[in-house]
Amino acid sequence: DTGVSQDPRHKITKRGQNVTFRCDPISEHNRLYWYRQTLGQGPEFLTYFQNEAQLEKSRLLSDRFSAERPKGSFSTLEIQRTEQGDSAMYLCASSFLQGAPYEQYFGPGTRLTVT
Amino acid sequence: GQQVMQIPQYQHVQEGEDFTTYCNSSTTLSNIQWYKQRPGGHPVFLIQLVKSGEVKKQKRLTFQFGEAKKNSSLHITATQTTDVGTYFCAGTRTQGAQKLVFGQGTRLTINP
């Protein structure tokens, strides 16, 4: 499978714990995005990387959230001191740097439940 | 900030009927993309519109971008059960911008 992969697919954690999610983009893609999606809503942009550089962060990304893409390949999203409001589907997407359309290829997501 | 609104939120049709979802932005968009998300699945890219007044067709699907580049629509002719899912529009504010702002989606269900 050469699509975007995410791990884990599901995560249940207790409030206050830290969690980390991983995203492996399509190998030729140098742009990587993180989104959060809650039930009945569209994905909300969190941040994006071009290669290893984090170029934009949403105001939704509080100090408890941090994302990295150390070698310009896979990325991790960490949430510290989780809160119940963090429960959501966390989606990763990737795209080519050049060419149009700038379609984004989404992974299956990580569903986070904070109890 | 930029907001993208979609209507209706839900639409239930009989198989064979047509379906339309509308997308409106509070600001002028550089481009608009449409995605489909099947139940339990992830968003899948359908199309991108860039030019004012642009119309694109994909088999039974017709996509339009408004003259003012603030609204868009997706029309499906003669729906089939495989069309079930949630349709999202998503726009970028400036050319080359990577932040996609999604609408809340229109969930389409079909009675066979």
For residue A8, the distance in angstroms to the closest alpha carbon of chain B comes to 15
Residue of A nearest to B85 (CA): A40
pLDDT, one tens digit per residue, over A61-83 is 889 999 999 988 999 999 999 99
**Tokens 């890219």, located at residue:** B45
Locate B75 and state its tokens: 């029309």
Per-residue model confidence (pLDDT) at position B23: 97
Element (H, E) at A8: none
Per-residue model confidence (pLDDT) at position B97: 73
Encode chain B (112 residues) as per-residue pLDDT tens digits. 668 999 999 999 999 999 999 999 999 999 999 999 999 999 999 999 999 999 999 999 999 999 999 999 999 999 999 999 999 999 988 777 778 999 999 999 999 9
For residue A18, name the pLDDT band (cuts at 50, 70, 90): very high
Residue of A nearest to B49 (CA): A101
Whole-number average pLDDT of chain A: 92
d(CA B3, CA B17): 30
- Asked if the model's pLDDT at residue A1 lies above 90, the reply is no
- Among A33, A42, A108, select the one facing B42 at the smallest CB separation: A108
C-alpha R_g of chain B: 13
For residue A100, name the pLDDT band (cuts at 50, 70, 90): low
Give the number of other Cβ atoms within 10 Å of residue A67's Cβ: 21
